[in-house]
Structure 1
Amino acid sequence: MKITQLVVHCADTPNDRDVTAEDIHQWHIQRKWAGIGYHRVIRRNGVIEQGRPEYWEGAHVKGYNSTTLGVCLIGRDQFTDAQMQSLERVLQEWKAKYPNAEVCGHRDLDPHKTCPNFDVKGWWAKVKGNRYENA
């Protein structure tokens, strides 16, 4: 599978509600989908949970699933420091495997979406810049 983009999502659940990968898996099955569409889920406390295996095409960005991996932050628009640290870890891990893949938000691939409700490209540029400055 040729991965060209690493896509950040949010669950669009209340910011104070903890949700698991298993919860999302059940919601997606109820919609008659083949289970959870994301490859990773990051809970409110920063715990990273496995979604679909990376070798299994995701179901998270219409028209892009065959060339993307998806990570979902639990919440709507206020993510915890622990979540953001875990997001950085997941993306670093994926970038090591897929160095040419672009980091982006769902909204960058679908203009009808606001998910994940922050500028992923801008955030990632700052993360990368800080990492090199502090190295």
Structure 2
Amino acid sequence: MSILIHDEPLPYVPRLAERPLTAMTLVVIHCTELPDLATARAYGERVLHEDGTGNSGHYYIDRDGTISRYVPENRIAHHVRGHNAHTLGIELVNRGRWPHWWDSRHQTMTEPYPPAQIDALCALLGRLRASLPRLAAIAGHEDLDTALVPASDDPSLRVPRKRDPGPLFPWARLQASGLERIVATRPL
């Protein structure tokens, strides 16, 4: 299946470390936990690190299935703590817990992933499997970043730092990708 990818590199892409395409072994699925793609882009453009870069996935898929590439595969994007060098990040536009990420009363993620978005994700995964020789596994952000943080409404409570892509993500749809699913080591 042919897919259209809109190349929209972030301004700091030349500052991101390079890597060989053979370095990537794992795809990490995220949800933006933001209201729309424009807000996600603005977050991605923020410079947060001393080297002049910020946090961003490689690919973003909007609710209608539109795919944008913000960071090329041969660059290391900052999208999951401790795993960036060997991973490729795919962000799905979804509100998640926005805007109360760490409020203990707002931990339920209620926005479903539209079929067009998941169809585009499946097509992108097929393309990536064909072009990245060592890509073998897939995980959710919540599976790799299992840290708990104090709740914003009650610091005596702890909530997951990351919950994306969350309980409504249709993992079964990705079985045909041939990627081995890595599962969280803590209960969510």
Query: Which TM class, normalised by the smaller chain length?
Result: 0.7 to 0.9
Please report how far the alpha carbon of residue 96 of structure 1 lies from its aligned counterpart in structure 2 after TM superposition: 1.4
Once residues 111 and 120 of structure 1 are traced to their aligned partners in structure 2, the CA distance between those partners, rounded to angstroms, is: 20
Cα distance in 2 for partners of 1:120, 1:110 equals: 20
Shift, 1:24, TM fit: 2.7
Matched, 1:69 2:117: no
Aligned partners of 2:46 and 2:85: how far apart in 1? 23
| TM-score between both structures, scaled by the size of structure 1 | 0.78
Q: 5+ residue gaps in structure 1? A: 130-135
**Which structure has the bigger radius of gyration?**
2
Q: Which structure ranks higher in relative contact order (CA pairs < 8 Å, sequence separation ≥ 6)?
A: 1
Alpha-carbon distance change, 120 to 69 in structure 1, aligned in 2, over 3 angstroms: farther
Letter in 2 for 1:26: A
2:148 is the counterpart of 1:97: no
Higher helix share: 1
Q: Percent identity?
A: 30
Please provide the CA RMSD for this pair: 2.3
**Is 2:125–2:177's contact at 8 Å kept on the other side of the alignment?**
no
Residue pair 2:122, 2:177 contacting (<8 A) in 1 also? no
CA distance in 2, matches of 1:86, 1:115: 18
Question: Which amino acid is the alignment partner of residue 71 of structure 2?
Answer: R
Aligned-partner Cα distance in 2 for 1:95–1:65: 18
2:63 alignment partner, one of 37, 44, 61: 44
Unaligned runs of 5+ in 2: 1-19, 97-110, 148-161, 179-188
1:54–1:120 Cα change, 3 Å: farther
Contact 1:25 1:35 in 2 (8 A): no
Q: Distance in 2 between matches of 1:32 and 1:6?
A: 23
Aligned residues: 123
The aligned counterpart of 2:174 is: 124
For residue 4 of structure 1, report the CA deviation from its aligned partner.
1.2
- Within-5 A mapping of 1:70-85: 70-75=89-94, 76=96, 77-85=111-119
